[in-house]
């Protein structure tokens, strides 16, 4: 989209501590500018860091583009210049959503008996009500951004002080006083979103965003331990990630040291804080999905289907290549084909489906990519399995009987380098994991 310089300085709709939201070139867009300001303690501490606005914009645009590549919808449209990007205009949902992999910050104040950095196998999602000047809908609160605890049994939600143990306090604001679940967002077509009802959608999206960024940062030698997101409703009435996600939004560790705003909160030198923001922006330029492939090999066109569905492949967003050649009957053609297919996309996993004697071990001896064989005849002829299990030396083939487990095994291997596949696998797993 071509935007004139006049439009780039459109009317200010809202100005916060670290960003300015301007009217966009049409009714459905806004321009988001990141400022050079850095603040902590609800504005009690304030400084200017030259270049911060541009680094924040680089980081946030790269986050949004990665999420888009991973199929997670968000409000980002395009970057306009160093400090500005164009976004869909959304009706903002008044929650700050915090997702945690480890306990730090306010979580430790609520659970002082836990160790700093306590690991959570299942991501924890917390909702904080967004307030301005400790007010919300005409109600005055003792703190900014109180913690929201949903009471499912009674379809209610209560507000708590976020910096004190929950078990040691009563809610200072109960939904019997004001029905939070009836708080609604009027969308463009006149329908309503009830905040209480949309929290599962928000919660699941927030987890997915975390998982994508968790893996992406792992690949760049960093550990993401928590972050804060905000969602909005766009002009298609979809709930999408809508606020900036930058080095102010998360806690990101490298060898135990903070690469984020915590360094500023803890009184670090401004030049050191600036260097962390610069590095984060520079690293974010390397965000993106690798080119990978799943090779599905059958020894004969007659071999049974692989047993998993095309939509599994679509969910994981993985390219696949299907080959049917018998390494016994056409060894040269099989050899040449597997070499070429891997040369085209070196980051591959090979799954071999075949009856009777095992083509998988034979292929595994000729390639450097992980090979999994699925001896499809095992139910009728259990002895067939032995030719896949007792293999000669230098024949590193894994044998898995259930086709779907073979597929998931291949996804686990690809997930090591792929934030989207990692997100898909881990999201499913975490539905059944528990925290302790």
Tell me the sheet residues that pair with 14.
Answer: 21
Nearer of residues 106 and 348 to ligand 5GP, judged by Cβ: 106
Nearer of residues 95 and 316 to ligand 5GP, judged by Cβ: 95
Cβ-based neighbour number of residue 259 at 10 Å:
23
Tell me the sheet residues that pair with 293.
Answer: 319, 348
**Neighbour-count burial of 366, counting CB atoms closer than 10 A to its CB (0-12 exposed, 13-18 middle, 19+ buried):** middle
DSSP one-letter code for 355: S
Nearer of residues 226 and 384 to ligand 5GP, judged by Cβ: 226
Radius of gyration of the chain (CA): 26
CB of 241 to ligand 5GP, least distance (A): 13
CB of 381 to ligand 5GP, least distance (A): 56
CB of 373 to ligand 5GP, least distance (A): 45
Closest CA to 366 of 399, 400, 339: 339
Distance CA 36, CA 373 (A): 55
CB of 107 to ligand 5GP, least distance (A): 5
Nearer of residues 250 and 353 to ligand 5GP, judged by Cβ: 250
Binding site for ligand 5GP (CB under 6 A): 96, 98, 104-107, 226-228, 248-251, 261
CB of 9 to ligand 5GP, least distance (A): 24
Q: Structure tokens of 393?
A: 């030396």
Nearer of residues 98 and 415 to ligand 5GP, judged by Cβ: 98
Q: Structure tokens of 174?
A: 């109960």
Are residues 326 and 298 in contact, defined by beta-carbon separation less than 8 angstroms? no
Nearer of residues 12 and 132 to ligand 5GP, judged by Cβ: 132
Distance CA 219, CA 230 (A): 25
Are residues 339 and 348 in contact, defined by beta-carbon separation less than 8 angstroms? no
Within 8 A by CB and 6+ apart from 111, the residues are 103, 165
Distance CA 271, CA 25 (A): 36
CB of 246 to ligand 5GP, least distance (A): 8
Nearer of residues 88 and 102 to ligand 5GP, judged by Cβ: 102
Nearer of residues 114 and 182 to ligand 5GP, judged by Cβ: 114
Q: Which residues of 217-231 are buried (b: 16+ CB within 10 A; e: fewer)?
A: bebeebbbbbbbbbb
Are residues 34 and 57 in contact, defined by beta-carbon separation less than 8 angstroms? yes
DSSP one-letter code for 37: E
**Neighbour-count burial of 104, counting CB atoms closer than 10 A to its CB (0-12 exposed, 13-18 middle, 19+ buried):** middle
CB of 13 to ligand 5GP, least distance (A): 19
Nearer of residues 214 and 424 to ligand 5GP, judged by Cβ: 214
Nearer of residues 108 and 156 to ligand 5GP, judged by Cβ: 108
CB of 120 to ligand 5GP, least distance (A): 13
CB of 73 to ligand 5GP, least distance (A): 21
Which residue is nearest to ligand 5GP, using beta carbons?
A: 105
Within 8 A by CB and 6+ apart from 405, the residues are none
CB of 276 to ligand 5GP, least distance (A): 13
């Amino acid at each position: 989209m071509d935007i004139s310089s006049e439009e780039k300085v459109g009317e200010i709709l809202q100005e916060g501590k670290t960003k300015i939201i301007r009217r966009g070139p049409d009714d459905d867009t806004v321009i988001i500018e990141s400022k050079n300001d850095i603040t902590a303690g609800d504005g009690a501490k304030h400084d200017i860091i030259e270049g911060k606005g541009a680094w924040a914009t680089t980081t946030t645009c790269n986050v949004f583009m990665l999420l888009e590549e991973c199929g997670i919808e968000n409000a980002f449209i395009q970057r306009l210049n160093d400090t500005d990007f164009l976004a869909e205009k959304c009706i903002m949902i008044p929650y700050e959503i915090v997702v945690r992999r480890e306990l730090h910050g306010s979580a430790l104040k609520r659970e002082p008996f836990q160790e700093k950095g306590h690991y959570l196998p299942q991501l924890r999602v917390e909702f904080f009500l967004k307030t301005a000047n400790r007010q919300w809908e005409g109600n005055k609160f003792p703190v900014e951004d109180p913690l929201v605890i949903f009471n499912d049994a009674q379809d209610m939600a209560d507000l708590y002080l976020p910096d004190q143990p929950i078990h040691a306090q009563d809610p200072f604001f109960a939904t019997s006083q004001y029905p939070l679940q009836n708080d609604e967002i009027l969308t463009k077509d006149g329908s309503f979103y009830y905040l209480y009802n949309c929290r599962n959608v928000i919660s699941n999206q927030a987890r997915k965003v975390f998982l994508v960024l968790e893996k992406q940062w792992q690949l760049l030698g960093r550990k993401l331990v928590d972050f804060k997101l905000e969602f909005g409703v766009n002009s298609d009435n979809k709930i999408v990630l809508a606020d900036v996600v930058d080095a102010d939004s998360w806690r990101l560790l490298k060898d135990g040291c903070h690469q984020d705003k915590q360094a500023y909160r803890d009184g670090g030198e401004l030049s050191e804080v600036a260097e962390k923001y610069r590095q984060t922006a520079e690293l974010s330029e390397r965000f993106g999905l690798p080119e990978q492939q799943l090779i599905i090999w059958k020894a004969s066109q007659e071999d049974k289907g692989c047993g998993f569905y095309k939509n599994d492949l679509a969910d994981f967003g993985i390219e696949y290549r299907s080959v049917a050649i018998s390494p016994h009957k056409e060894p040269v053609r099989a050899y040449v084909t597997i070499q070429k297919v891997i040369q085209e996309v070196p980051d591959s996993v090979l799954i071999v489906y075949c009856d009777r004697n095992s083509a998988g071990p034979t292929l595994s001896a000729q390639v450097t990519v992980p090979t999994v064989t699925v001896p499809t005849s095992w139910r009728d002829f259990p002895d067939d399995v032995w030719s896949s299990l007792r293999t000669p030396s230098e024949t590193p083939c894994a044998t898995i009987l259930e086709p779907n487990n073979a597929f998931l095994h291949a996804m686990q291997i690809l997930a090591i380098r792929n934030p989207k596949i990692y997100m898909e696998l881990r999201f499913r797993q975490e539905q059944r994991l528990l925290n302790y």
